[in-house]
């Protein structure tokens, strides 16, 4: 079977590893980056807690011992399901079976001003750009005498009260408390405001009521201004405009309020569901096709309890595991395929030092605080690729915990020049 996998995220990488050195498969993994990105820790790169290399792992290194996998770094231009080819920036590849695992990207909901001025965080590069902007604002603040301009530089607005927004707000609040006053003693950080805007009535809306209340309480304890039932209408790079007519002066808005599927060109519009996801059946086959599959954030599947699964790593990993079994069966000309059923093992989010929330569905449990924080750290360490990466992440966490300091507050001039352009 000539198999092409588009995307080296949690789903695509897991599938490729499951079929590595399996007889009967010849695979090509295509991704625009040559590394796997551990998205749950992007916010720590953005807030100088971790180096980008700690949460990124070279895809070619993963498959050094694989005899049936080729990796190609390329951008997908379009898919042709009639001729069974994938057209990329580096050439054309033909397939017997295609698996689309291209994940999701930031959804600005058609607002061009937001896309131009707000900072997303869906890749390692974007996390580094955000870190650059965050730190550079304080450097700029040292040279500003106008009170209004100074306040704009000192205000940070995070939009979206999901795990990314909550974790990022908490991390910035800890920087304000432990790090920034030492780095910039000339600035009055009592004037620094961190706003978390959420359109619904609570933070962490997909988690339990206890987690939502606890996370909001933790954020308020850290000094974050949590504004629920607050919708943002526009942003011009200097002022945040809210739906209720109020405004917040800020030169840094971090957009964590929505994602959409990253669908390659060539997929029929009738196959696209809400959230820009591809409709698939219970075997992750794209509807109406026998040789094209979609897994992870890009796939829209309906189950008894789900009208589209949560766009989280466990879904992608479970779908990849089952698809690997089904592809082996298909390769043996078997029609006895297993249907996918998502097994929710729980959810968690960290807010700050010794502060996290964990929900477990079976048995139904909720716990927070220090123990939840240890569980969060342990699970994320297990999921990171590479012994070296785990070691560096752990030592960075240990150093930060002991010293109350992040030691990666670097401003690279390349990012500055690119921003000026």
Q: 236 in helix, strand or coil?
A: coil
Read off the pLDDT band of 416 (50, 70, 90).
very low
Considering the domain 2-32+74-106+259-331 in this protein, what is its CATH number? Answer: 3.50.50.60
The pLDDT score that the predictor gives to residue 393 is 94
Q: What is the pLDDT of residue 415?
A: 52
Binned at pLDDT 50, 70 and 90, residue 226 comes out as: very high
Phi and psi, residue 213, nearest 5°? -65, -40
Q: What is the model's pLDDT at position 385? A: 87
pLDDT at 170: 97
Question: Tell me, what's the pLDDT at 320?
Answer: 98
Report the alpha-carbon distance of residue 197 to residue 351 in Å, rounded. Answer: 15
CATH 3.50.50.60 segments of the chain: 2-32+74-106+259-331
Q: pLDDT at position 381, please?
A: 93
| pLDDT tens profile 60-83 | 999 999 999 999 999 999 999 999
For residue range 83-100, what is the model confidence (pLDDT) as tens digits?
999 999 999 999 999 999
Q: Which parts of 328-379 are beta strand (E)? A: 347-352, 355-360, 365-368
254-263, 267-276, 329-338, 399-408: least confidently modelled range: 399-408
Can you read off the two tokens belonging to residue 130? 């955000």
Q: What is the CATH number of domain 112-257+354-420?
A: 3.50.50.100
Max Cα separation, the chain?
Answer: 74
What is the pLDDT at residue 398?
93
DSSP string across 283-342:
TSBBTT-SSEEE-GGGEE-B-SS-BS--SSHHHHHHHHHHHHHHHHHHHTT---PPPP--
**Distance, CA of 356 to chain centre:** 18
Which pLDDT value is given to residue 414?
56
**Cβ count within 10 A of residue 87:** 18
CA dist., res. 50 & res. 409, Å (int):
10
pLDDT computed for residue 351 by the predictor: 96
Give the Cα separation of 353 and 369 in Å (integer). 9
Residue 94 pLDDT: 97
Per residue in 337-377, pLDDT (tens digit) is 999 999 999 999 999 999 999 999 988 999 999 999 999 99
Q: State residue 190's pLDDT score.
A: 95
Residue 241 has what DSSP assignment?
Answer: E
Asked whether the predicted pLDDT for residue 22 surpasses 50, the reply is: yes
Question: Measured between alpha carbons, how far is residue 307 from residues 265, 297, 330 in Å?
Answer: 24, 13, 27
**Helices and strands (H, E) in the chain, number of each type:** 13, 25
Contact indicator for 2, 85 with CB cutoff of 8 Å: no
**Is the peptide bond preceding residue 300 cis, with omega within 30 degrees of 0?**
no
Query: What residue ranges of the chain are covered by domains with CATH 3.50.50.100?
Result: 112-257+354-420
Q: What is the mean pLDDT of residues 320-346?
A: 94
Residue 248 contacts residue 240 (beta carbons within 8 Å)? yes
Residue 421 has pLDDT above 80, yes or no: no
Confidence at 413, pLDDT banded by 50, 70, 90: low
Residues in Cβ contact with 390 at an 8 Å cutoff, skipping those fewer than 6 apart: 381, 384
Asked, as a colleague might, if the bond just before 363 is cis with ω within 30 of 0, I would say yes
Distance CA 204, CA 281 (A): 29
Compute the average pLDDT of residues 259-282.
Answer: 95
């Amino acid at each position: 079977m000539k198999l092409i996998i588009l995307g080296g995220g949690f789903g695509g990488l897991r599938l490729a590893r499951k079929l590595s050195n399996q007889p009967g498969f010849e695979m090509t993994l295509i991704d625009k980056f040559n590394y796997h990105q551990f998205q749950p820790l992007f916010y720590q790169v953005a807030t100088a807690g971790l180096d980008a290399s700690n949460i990124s792992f070279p895809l070619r290194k993963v498959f050094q011992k694989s005899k049936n996998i080729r990796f190609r770094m390329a951008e997908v231009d379009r898919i042709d399901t009639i001729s069974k080819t994938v057209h990329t920036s580096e050439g054309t590849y033909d397939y017997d079976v295609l698996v689309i695992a291209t994940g999701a990207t930031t959804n600005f909901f058609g607002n061009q001003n937001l896309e131009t001025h707000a900072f997303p965080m869906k890749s390692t590069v974007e996390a580094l750009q955000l870190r650059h902007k965050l730190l550079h604002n304080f450097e700029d603040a040292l040279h500003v005498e106008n009170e209004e301009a100074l306040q704009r530089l000192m205000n940070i607005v995070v939009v979206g009260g999901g795990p990314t927004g909550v974790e990022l707000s908490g991390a910035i609040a800890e920087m304000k408390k432990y790090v920034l006053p030492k780095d910039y003693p000339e600035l009055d950080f009592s004037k620094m405001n961190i706003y978390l805007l959420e359109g619904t009535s609570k933070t962490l809306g997909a988690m339990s009521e206890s987690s939502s209340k606890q996370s909001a309480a933790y954020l308020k304890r850290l000094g974050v201004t949590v504004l629920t039932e607050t919708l943002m209408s526009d942003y011009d790079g200097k002022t945040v405009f809210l739906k209720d007519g109020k405004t917040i002066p800020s030169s840094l808005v971090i957009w964590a309020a929505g994602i959409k599927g990253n669908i390659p060109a060539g997929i029929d519009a009738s196959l696209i569901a809400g959230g820009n996801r591809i409709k698939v059946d219970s075997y992750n086959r794209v509807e109406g096709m026998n040789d094209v599959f979609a897994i992870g954030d890009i796939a829209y599947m309906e189950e008894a309890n789900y009208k589209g699964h949560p766009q989280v790593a466990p879904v992608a990993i479970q779908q990849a595991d089952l698809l690997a079994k089904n592809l082996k069966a298909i390769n043996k000309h078997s029609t006895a395929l297993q249907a996918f059923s998502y097994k929710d093992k729980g959810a968690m989010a960290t807010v700050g030092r010794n502060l996290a929330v964990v929900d477990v569905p079976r048995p139904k449990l909720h716990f927070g605080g220090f123990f939840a924080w240890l569980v969060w750290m342990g699970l994320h360490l297990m999921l990171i690729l590479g012994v070296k990466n785990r070691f560096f992440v752990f030592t960075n966490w240990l150093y930060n915990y002991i010293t109350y300091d992040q030691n990666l507050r670097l401003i690279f001039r390349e990012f500055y020049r690119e921003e000026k352009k």
